[in-house]
Structure 1
Amino acid sequence: MTLLHLATFAFWALIGFAVVNALCTTFTLVALFRHRRERSDDRELPRVAILLCLRGADPQLAGGLQRLMNQQYPDYEIFIVIDSEADPAWGVVKQGVDDTGGKSAACRVHISTLRQRLETCSLKCSSLVQLLDQIDDSFEVVVLADSDLESHPTWLRELVAPLDDPRVGAAFGNRWFLPTVGWMGSLVRQVCNAIGVVTMHLGQIPWGGSLAIRASVVKESGLRETLTRSIVDDGPVRVALREQGLKLQFVPSLLMANREDCDLRFAHNFLTRQLKWTQTYMSSQWPIMLVYTLGVLGIYMVTLVLAIVCTLVGYHEEAFGFVVGSAIYSGTVMTLWFLLDVAARRIIRAQGEPVPGFIGVQLLKLPIAMLLAVVIHVSAMVRATVLRRVIWRGVTYEVLGPKEVSLLNEEAMETSLESANVSL
């Protein structure tokens, strides 16, 4: 194959990949731009138990807890398990609850420490098992929330609204990173997260940081027992719903802002861990996802290199093919990302939350961040495929399959989490 033939192949391959990406992203864009904030009448709202598992004090924990305690919802309670009384989250939570004096909060809050650290699952799943044992049959919906969630007053109403449909077993939101400082790692994670939002929407992959599940699904699926052998909570929920023939619904109005910054190393580790969870619970689809991603990004990177080489040695016709192909693909990806970002910011503003401007230094860094995101995404996917040991919040786990998890060792959480570099 001559360089000209290779340039022609690369051109049409990248055009094809651009079209596929555009079609996939369009479905998510339509959902985001057409979002409506669903809110049921008070008389129709089910009783809700919000479950919150804490290990370490995230930077936004105090504010996030206050938001959870003041939802515009008539009947809900919050159940919290903290790693231990020595954990920095203990003081933050106790102070937050004590400050309300039970007067300003719209709900009751139950606080306990983790009593049994199961060695066959993550500490988060151990906490969830304990919490599920605490709630009684009066609760119709179980809601999972993350410690870094910054909910708005109607978050809970919007999250449970899809459950009015008996065919829907669970509903979930997602996160959109809006870093305040704009470190390169933050921008790379922001770009990669867009891929995740589209993939999770199309593949019906829930985010456990904002997830409402029918209590009947939890009981009938044996989810409690499944969690005793799981590394995360959202993957087993997806499996349970599929087995029961129920729908999992994405709630576009609950695209939640995450404003934490991180460096490149953390962005790579974070993405690797997220992809490892996907690989664990979507093992049958993972080879297709891996081959497609490596194919797209591999051809793209080779095309960029050949475009530069051909330009330098004077092969102008070949260079033109490589340049145009990579330019069209780059332009398409960047345009799709900007449209997603516009839609996300529009939703976050509708929640009454502040949205930082996207100008100046951050905008100038974005092209570099997108190129770095290509490299980091490929590296994270390959690493997630072969990775067997995962470090998560100071705990080392061995993950061999969806029900083959071992807790190997853990470090004490003696200081508060000072940045996103250890919070997720």
Structure 2
Amino acid sequence: MSSALNLVEQALPMEPISIWGGATLLVWSLVHFGFACFFRMIVVRKTLGQSDRESIDENDGKVSVLLSLRGCDPFLATTLKRLLEQTYRNFEIIAVIDSRQDPSWKVAKQIQSRHDHDHRFRILELVDPRSTCGLKCSSLVQATQHIADDSEFVVLIDADVVPHADWLKDVLRPLRDPRIGVVTGGQWFSPERPGWGALLRSVWNSGAMVATAINGNPWAGTCAMRLSDLRRSGLVEKWTTSIVDDGPIKPAFGRLGLKVYFEPKLLMINRDQCSAKFTGTYVTRMLTWSRIFEKTFVNTVLHAVAMAGLWGAAALSFVVDALLGNSTVVFVGSALLLSNLMMLAGYCLIRQSVRDAISFRSDRNSIAAMSLNRAVRIFLLIPLCQFTHLIWTFRAIFARQAKWREITYRLLPRQRVEMVSYHPYAVDTDAATPNASI
């Protein structure tokens, strides 16, 4: 063993390599922390200061809220009730459900009968599950055909988003600027008692959310636009051949010279639990959509390779230096520790930015202060996230099929897709985790 290590030492000057690797890792971690600071100071605080000076009322126009349902998300009933309780009262809800056998149909009907006192909520069964696009896109295309004649705005919402009371006001306010075509928010995963899988998804999502906001990529979980712009953008036609609903939004509105606006007040809290296996499937699917629709995906690949490579090289250098008794072992060990601490600080800074953005909410959409137990678990998960992110990224690069809620799609060239076969959603009776994502 010692002779092998001596050969390594003779072949490779370990001390300079270790110093370079540790220093580079520190620099990269500092850059990550800088992005977290930029997100907090510019993207969140500056934007919040602008939106706090503006108000909105029902005179701004009628809103059509479009919702696609397949399967019953853990908090679907709460989502529907919160939609009907909006302080902005000039709206309608159009929910297109996969089939009458879908478990969400019963929930939607119950909420409609108990809480829809003003007859704002319409429930439709999906008539034509197209084979050329995702089921969500099929549902949205059908929903647009039923929008009220006097509607002026369209707002998309996902079934796992629980809106706060002023959600509609917050999503409509920026559209007063004629230069803005799309208003969007972001999703923060924060289960109340998260397992390791849910925390791993939260760690990955913290970086993805910042990148999405900075790059101005829309998130269909909360996304508003003028109905007139939607019709002339060609987005509805694009949905008929798209695997996802939000991927084509930015280029469609970009052709109109309109920009995507990120509103921090629309950072939505997701309480769903999930396993580590589900996190891997979920992230791979998100990265696959990014590969298909986002020009910045190459940056994602380079980032994944660089971070995993630097972590791996630094860890290997630490082990070899320790075995050889090199003095650089202290520097490399310190670099690994400080790098992880900076990444944790960046995560905490992003999390606090989300807390600040939603501090006006008095309901369960708020986030509790970071506990020591959660901070320690996040600290331990950060290196794991770097390596799993690399694996998930390469899976996304080579993915030629994608599965969403029991439906498999073939991914074809030029952003086209083919549904392999359609069948109604079946309830997962084996799900052991309460409030688990589906």
What TM-score, normalized to structure 1?
Answer: 0.93
Does residue 70 of structure 1 match 2:80?
no
Deviations 1:160-181 (A, max 9, x none): 1100000000000111111122
Residues 230, 402 of structure 1: 8 Å contact kept: no
Does residue 262 of structure 1 match 2:274?
yes
Residues 307, 386 of structure 2: 8 Å contact kept: no
SS of residue in 2 equivalent to 1:244: coil
Q: CA deviation at 1:410?
A: 4.0
1:149 matched to which residue of 2? Answer: 161
Residues 12, 325 of structure 1: 8 Å contact kept: yes
Distance 1:41 1:32, change over 3 A: closer
Does residue 293 of structure 1 match 2:304?
yes
Residues 208, 233 of structure 1: 8 Å contact kept: yes
Deviations 1:177-216 (A, max 9, x none): 1112220001100111101111101111111100001212
Equivalences for residues 274-353 of structure 1 within 5 A: 274-282=286-294, 284-317=295-328, 319-353=329-363
Deviations 1:356-397 (A, max 9, x none): 453254333222222221122111111111111111011101
Residue in structure 1 matching 2:258, options 237, 241, 246: 246
Residue in structure 2 matching 1:161, options 165, 168, 173: 173
SS of residue in 1 equivalent to 2:193: coil
Equivalences for residues 159-198 of structure 1 within 5 A: 159-198=171-210
Distance 1:43 1:109, change over 3 A: closer
1:400 matched to which residue of 2? Answer: 412
Does residue 122 of structure 1 match 2:137?
no
Residues 159, 211 of structure 1: 8 Å contact kept: yes
The letter for the 2-side match of 1:375 is F
Please say which structure displays the higher CA radius of gyration: 2
Does residue 15 of structure 1 match 2:26?
yes
Residues 56, 173 of structure 2: 8 Å contact kept: no
Deviations 1:123-153 (A, max 9, x none): 1100011011111442221110000111111
The answer for unaligned runs of 5 or more in structure 1 is none
Equivalences for residues 69-148 of structure 1 within 5 A: 69-100=84-115, 102-103=116-117, 108-148=120-160
Whole-Å Cα distance in 1 between the matches of residues 13 and 227 of structure 2?
62
SS of residue in 2 equivalent to 1:234: coil
Deviations 1:10-42 (A, max 9, x none): 133223312322332222111324425555332
Residues 80, 111 of structure 2: 8 Å contact kept: yes
Whole-Å Cα distance in 2 between the matches of residues 390 and 421 of structure 1?
24
Whole-Å Cα distance in 2 between the matches of residues 328 and 298 of structure 1?
17
Residues 57, 416 of structure 1: 8 Å contact kept: no
Whole-Å Cα distance in 1 between the matches of residues 103 and 363 of structure 2?
27
Whole-Å Cα distance in 1 between the matches of residues 104 and 304 of structure 2?
39
Whole-Å Cα distance in 1 between the matches of residues 424 and 253 of structure 2?
35
Q: Which moved more, 1:211-220 or 1:161-170?
A: 211-220
Q: CA deviation at 1:399?
A: 1.6
Whole-Å Cα distance in 1 between the matches of residues 131 and 192 of structure 2?
38
What TM-score, normalized to structure 2?
Answer: 0.90
Deviations 1:265-286 (A, max 9, x none): 001111111111111101x332
Q: Which moved more, 1:20-29 or 1:184-193?
A: 20-29
Residues 409, 417 of structure 2: 8 Å contact kept: yes
Residues 87, 413 of structure 1: 8 Å contact kept: yes
Q: Which moved more, 1:176-185 or 1:135-144?
A: 135-144
Distance 1:364 1:43, change over 3 A: closer
Distance 1:377 1:344, change over 3 A: same
Q: CA deviation at 1:296?
A: 2.2
For these two proteins, the number of residue pairs brought into alignment is: 419
Residues 281, 402 of structure 1: 8 Å contact kept: no
Residues 18, 332 of structure 1: 8 Å contact kept: yes
The letter for the 2-side match of 1:374 is Q
SS of residue in 2 equivalent to 1:391: strand
Residue in structure 1 matching 2:226, options 214, 224, 227: 214
Q: Which moved more, 1:342-351 or 1:76-85?
A: 342-351
Residues 266, 421 of structure 1: 8 Å contact kept: no
Q: Which moved more, 1:414-423 or 1:353-362?
A: 414-423
When the two chains are superposed, the root-mean-square deviation of aligned CA atoms in Å is 2.0
The letter for the 2-side match of 1:287 is V
Whole-Å Cα distance in 1 between the matches of residues 133 and 436 of structure 2?
20
The answer for unaligned runs of 5 or more in structure 2 is 1-11
SS of residue in 2 equivalent to 1:5: helix
Equivalences for residues 358-377 of structure 1 within 5 A: 358-359=370-371, 361-377=373-389
The letter for the 1-side match of 2:354 is A
Deviations 1:388-417 (A, max 9, x none): 111101110112345310101245323278
Residues 82, 165 of structure 2: 8 Å contact kept: yes
Deviations 1:71-127 (A, max 9, x none): 111311000100011111110000110012x42x5x611111000010000011000
Whole-Å Cα distance in 2 between the matches of residues 26 and 146 of structure 1?
29
Residues 56, 169 of structure 2: 8 Å contact kept: no
1:413 matched to which residue of 2? Answer: 425
The letter for the 2-side match of 1:327 is L
Residues 64, 94 of structure 2: 8 Å contact kept: yes
Residues 141, 214 of structure 1: 8 Å contact kept: yes
Residues 56, 415 of structure 1: 8 Å contact kept: yes
Whole-Å Cα distance in 2 between the matches of residues 50 and 123 of structure 1?
18
Whole-Å Cα distance in 2 between the matches of residues 41 and 331 of structure 1?
42
2:73 matched to which residue of 1? Answer: 58
Deviations 1:296-340 (A, max 9, x none): 2211222123213311331222x2332233233222211111111
Residue in structure 1 matching 2:17, options 6, 31, 38: 6
Whole-Å Cα distance in 1 between the matches of residues 298 and 209 of structure 2?
20
Q: Which moved more, 1:192-201 or 1:18-27?
A: 18-27
